[in-house]
């Protein structure tokens, strides 16, 4: 398990992430509203505009102010570090 920084010192477990999507489409906006009503929304954007929606395997949805591309880069960096440690 690796922890990934999703902005402002907030960390999530990379093994629990199902998908990272952009918040602009209507279906994603509806999903956010539904999850908010069920109490499973975690807003980690610190009042900034939401640029990524992270869907977790627990049913929780995390909002981040970082772009999906930047989060992908962070996931890839952690995986490369993990792979280099495994090969030593």
**What are the residue boundaries of the structural domains of the chain, listed by start?**
3-86
Give backbone dihedrals phi and psi of 61, rounded to 5 degrees, phi first: -125, 130
Interval 19-45 mean pLDDT: 97
Determine how many CB atoms are found less than 10 A away from the CB of residue 73. 12
20 sits in the region (left: phi over 0; alpha: psi -120 to 50; else beta) called beta
68, pLDDT greater than 90:
yes
53, pLDDT greater than 80:
yes
- Residues 80/55, Cβ–Cβ less than 8 Å: no
Element (H, E) at 59: none
Interval 40-61 mean pLDDT: 97
Q: Which is more confident, 1 or 21?
A: 21
12, pLDDT greater than 90:
yes
Interval 11-31 mean pLDDT: 96
């Amino acid at each position: 398990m690796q922890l990934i920084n999703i902005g402002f010192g907030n960390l999530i477990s990379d093994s629990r992430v199902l998908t990272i999507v952009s918040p602009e489409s209507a279906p994603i906006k509806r999903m956010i509203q539904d999850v908010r009503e069920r109490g499973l929304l975690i807003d980690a954007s610190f009042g900034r505009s939401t640029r990524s929606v992270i869907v977790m395997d627990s049913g929780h949805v995390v909002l981040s102010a970082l772009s999906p591309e930047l989060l992908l880069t962070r996931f890839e960096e952690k995986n490369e570090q993990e792979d280099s440690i495994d090969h030593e």
